[in-house]
Structure 1
Amino acid sequence: MSIPYKYSMYEGTELNKYKEVKGILSFADRELLFEYKVYDANGNGISNLSKFAIQLDNIKSIQYKKGFLFTGGKLIIKANQWAFFEPLPGSDQGVIKLNIKRRDRSEAIRISTKLNLYMSQQRLDDMDGE
């Protein structure tokens, strides 16, 4: 199960500090895998392909927010601690917001629903174990 994403980020206030991150989010073996490259404002790749994985136990929430009319939406993922998303460029206080194209909306909703069900089941299992 995987989905393409992108998001923009600014470093400072100058327009030439604009960067865009494009990648693929995958879900397998109780972890989220982010594969991505960083591009400058002209679309030139300024990084090599990078990979980052986070265990689902370290995810606080995942939510899909539908966009306006013909746009896709955002997949908002929050970590239990700020430090868990620190390696990802553009993360902010343990939160990453991935822009999803309209054609991938149903897959984003499916991933969000599946991960939320999994995390709910884990919390119930943890409560039963106490």
Structure 2
Amino acid sequence: MLEFEIKDAIGGFIKSDLKEVEIPFDEIESIAYKKGIWGGTVKIEGNSMRTFEEIPESEQGRCELKIKRKDRNEAETSISSARVALSEYKLDKLDE
């Protein structure tokens, strides 16, 4: 489940209510986290160009989420857990 708000690019003011989009593991190819100086970035790659069609600014089956500096540690932990869960899901699918 991804939760997000849309913010104004210039002022950073919130322009939307909190939105939730559920992306099934079947549609996720990979998840990566990159720590940066000012925050971090989560990159999720889907199996199809339609995987992230409900998420603004996603392109060609890829979604990039910016993480604020104060939320980096929590994001890193969450992404690590999500990667383990995705790996386990893919292994289970191979066993079937």
Q: TM-score range by the shorter chain?
A: 0.7 to 0.9
Which 5+ residue runs of structure 1 have no aligned equivalent?
A: 1-31
- Residues in 2 aligned to 1:42 and 1:108: alpha-carbon distance in whole angstroms: 24
Could you tell me the percent identity over the aligned residues?
A: 36
| Matched length | 96
Structure with higher strand content: 1
Aligned match for 1:51, one of 20, 29, 39 = 20
By how many angstroms is 1:65 displaced? 0.5
Against the structure 1 CA distance between its residues 101 and 122, is the aligned structure 2 distance closer, same or farther, given a 3 Å change threshold? same
What is the match of residue 44 of structure 2? 77
**Alignment counterpart, residue 104 of structure 1, candidates 60, 71, 79:** 71
Amino acid at match of 2:28: I
Is the Cα contact below 8 Å between 1:35 and 1:49 reproduced in 2?
A: yes
Gapped runs of 5+ residues in structure 2? none
**Aligned counterparts, 1:29-68, within 5 A:** 32-39=1-8, 41-68=10-37
Question: Partners in 2 of 1:92 and 1:41 — Cα distance?
Answer: 21
Hey, what's the Cα distance between the residues in 1 that align with 2:68 and 2:88?
Answer: 29
The CA deviation at 1:45 is 4.7
Q: Calculate the aligned-residue CA RMSD, in Å.
A: 1.9
Runs (4+) off by over 6 Å: none
Q: Once the two structures are superposed, what CA deviation does each residue of 1:85-115 show, in whole Å capped at 9, x if it has no partner?
A: 1121100111111111222111111111111
Return the TM-score normalized by structure 2. Answer: 0.82
Provide the residue aligned with 1:114 in structure 2: 81
